[in-house]
Amino acid sequence: MQNKIALEEHFAIDATIGDSRVFFGEHLWTEVKSRLLDTDDRLPREMDAHGVGMMLLSLNAPAVQAIANKRRAIAVAREANDLLAEKVRKHPSRYAGFAALPMQDPDAATIEIERCVKEFGFVGALVNGFTETGDSKKLLYYDLPQYRAFWKKVEALDVPFYLHPRNPLPGQIPGYEGHNWLLGPNWAFNAETSVHALRLIGSGLFDECPGLKIVLGHLGEGIPAQLWRIDGRNGWMKERHRYAAKGSVADYFRKNFWLTTSGNYSTSTLVQAMAEVGAGRIMFSVDWPFEDVGQACSWIDEAKISESDRMQIGRENAIKLFKLKAN
């Protein structure tokens, strides 16, 4: 399939590139660092070689969300967004941008997303999970009341918000101690992000902002496989979860969430997600530079799904959701 669109693809700036180094040994870091920094030559060549027409770029993780100091977080977010705007200007037919946001300060985050959408034409924001405050017991999740005005601005701007993973802080979850292999994409990323997404749903956010559009990577961070169980728990006892939201988790998930294939190239998982949310809410992604463009593209090109579904997932859904002017 030609002219695929991929939308969880990352770059780095000097202030954030070290955040990615911790996931790789020295034998791999030189390659990954090169991938993160080279969006002018290496990445377009990878796209051309594998039939990718456009990528939506975002800052690496956890980046801004790991900066406890508000002023520093605001400055780094602006620096990253200014650089990304230049990348998009240089390659307008190949790249679009997601804003990095200083969620340490909801007012500043609101100002920054509006700046990026209105001045730079960014197509949304990508935020790397919870935000740190300097106190491991006071992490900021975005269902908290202080973010309601921010969410109303996102809804008014009519742009998607990509909730991207990050690891829990060291020592935060004792069950990981002595089992570092569970961190990152093996398990902790999807576990952390799925809880955050469910918090947003249970808080009643989507009753207040019914037009919000949230994107989750990795084919939904495991949530699609658990939708029935989440809502159906103890059905024989007529027992239900108690939360602020008026509807079921599945109702909001199918109405307000979109999924991408980033870093999860499993056809059986894709088909299961399609069964839960429909092919119209799933979009192709690679997760560059942490995954390989060729592997991702070969998979989606050959996956045993209909050609109509392949076109929707590979291209058409992204054009519709992000209002892209794609070739």
Q: How far apart are CA 157 and CA 123, in angstroms?
A: 10
127 forms beta bridges with: 163
Alpha carbon of 209 to those of 59, 115, 148, 281: distances in Å?
A: 26, 21, 9, 19
Q: How far apart are CA 56 and CA 137, in angstroms?
A: 34
Tokens of 270: 């894709």
| Distance from the Cα of residue 101 to its chain's centroid | 13
Q: What letter represents residue 80's amino acid?
A: A
Tokens of 289: 């530079």
Q: Helix, strand, or coil here: 138?
A: coil
251 counts as catalytic: no
Give me the helices (H) in the chain, please: 18-21, 26-37, 42-50, 70-90, 106-120, 148-157, 188-202, 205-208, 223-232, 249-256, 267-277, 293-302, 307-311, 317-322
Catalytic residue among 231, 287, 292, 301: 287
Q: How far apart are CA 44 and CA 123, in angstroms?
A: 20
Omega before residue 62 within 30° of 0, cis? yes
Neighbours of 191 (CB within 10 A): 19
Give me the helices (H) in 159-246, please: 188-202, 205-208, 223-232
Catalytic residue numbers read 287
